[in-house]
Structure 1
Amino acid sequence: MEESQPDEDAPASTALESVGAAISSFVNRVGGWLSEVHHSMTPIGHAEDALERGDSRFLIELQVDRETMQIVDAIEALGWDYERADYHRVEEKTMGVYLFQRAQGPALP
């Protein structure tokens, strides 16, 4: 009958697994934080932040392109009422300055 020898690589393997789990956890936390930071830098993120602060009005400048009305619609869906927009040209691009007022009723689903 042979005696089983302890696996000398087991402690190193366990340590590597532990380090791998710690790195994975760190990457997931950083990724989540970066995602939140990125979102807060978007027009929708700015609109959400203004709602959370309790602002009664929200003003944002957007380049006028195919997605502009989708952004405006999304901001309204958060609980802002579109009030008006003014337009101007900057380096061959049309820019819109959009003014929203906090909606009086509940936000649309």
Structure 2
Amino acid sequence: MKYKTWKCGICGETIIEGQRFIFLREIGFAHLECVLERLTEKNSVNRDLLSLIDANELITYSIIRLKESETLAADKDIKEKIISVRKSLEKYSVELSDLLFKYMNSG
């Protein structure tokens, strides 16, 4: 199985699909550790930000697993339902990412 890769919008290093990462519209893909480091440098880590990061990481992991399930599904209806669920999660991930980015850059 070939893994997708992206460039981290914070550190510039490679992100390999399956690593801990999130997508921030204004930054792009970013290692979760890079986001946490940036927040720590700004002394702005709080429970709200941690909850957004945690929720987004869970959704991102689910999206990756659903993509794997899409390739396994033989039945067209099942595959379409999995795709539909994945796309819904992608929308929620964008909403959480936008909120996270807003709070990362406030204050």
TM-score, with length taken from structure 1: 0.28
